[in-house]
Structure 1
Amino acid sequence: MNLKTRFSLILAAALFAAGCSSTAEKSEPATKPAEPGLGCTSSAVQHLEGKIATPELLEQARQQAGASTARILTPSSMVTLEYNGQRLNLNVDDQRVITRVSCG
């Protein structure tokens, strides 16, 4: 196997491994959503935009939105592409100020 082929394989493996990791913070799933059957409702926590994201605020937002899980997404967070209607996302800037609230 020549050097170029080895390098390509190592690079592909590194990219694959990087895509499988995540730095997003996650809360533990709730035993039951705030409003069973309705799923995540991001409009219930839109008022949090502009606030500093903390683990405590994340849990409070998760409960208010009726989500089963929640996560804080920083500008450098790697995320998976699957949609989860029971998950609340708090997008933050580099200073952890909430810039967007969504479900999915």
Structure 2
Amino acid sequence: MKTRLTATITLATALFALSACASTGNDKVADATPPSMEPSCGAEQFASYVGQPASDEVIAAITASRGDKPMRVITPGSAVTMDYRPDRLNVQVGDDGKIKGFTCT
């Protein structure tokens, strides 16, 4: 009898815990990116560099125009962190050594 009571209590506890995770269907979908996390690195202003070689001179010019704002150059096979920084400019470089594009993360 004690085993049956223990099993019943365990089952009731598990069901109660699972019910807390259930959706009511009234949940609103939040915006994908909160306003404070919107990309703000100014990637669009560097569009003229797309297709140019990622030479030291070109990267230096981009860096100089950014001032002390964060930036990283991502080449094929390079390791990058997964942290999200909306103010950081990523310079994407292709296998051919040319700039493919810019992103904010």
- TM-score bin, normalised by smaller chain: 0.5 to 0.7
TM-score, normalising length: structure 2 = 0.53
How many residues were matched structurally? 66
SS at match of 2:63: helix
SS at match of 1:47: helix
CA contact (8 A) 1:42 1:101 kept: yes
**What RMSD in Å do the two structures reach over aligned CA positions?**
2.0
CA contact (8 A) 1:62 1:88 kept: no
Residue of structure 1 in register with 2:58 after alignment: 57
Dislocated runs of 4+, deviation >4 Å: none
Matches within 5 A, 1:16-27: none
Residue of structure 2 in register with 1:45 after alignment: 46
Residues 42/101 of structure 1: CA separation in 2 closer, same or farther (3 Å cut): same
TM-score, normalising length: structure 1 = 0.53
What is the identity, as a one-letter code, of the residue corresponding to 1:70?
A: M
Identity of aligned residues (%): 29
1:75 aligns with 2:70: no
Larger radius of gyration: 2
CA contact (8 A) 1:45 1:64 kept: no
Residue of structure 2 in register with 1:19 after alignment: none
Q: Which runs of 5+ in 1 are unaligned?
A: 1-38
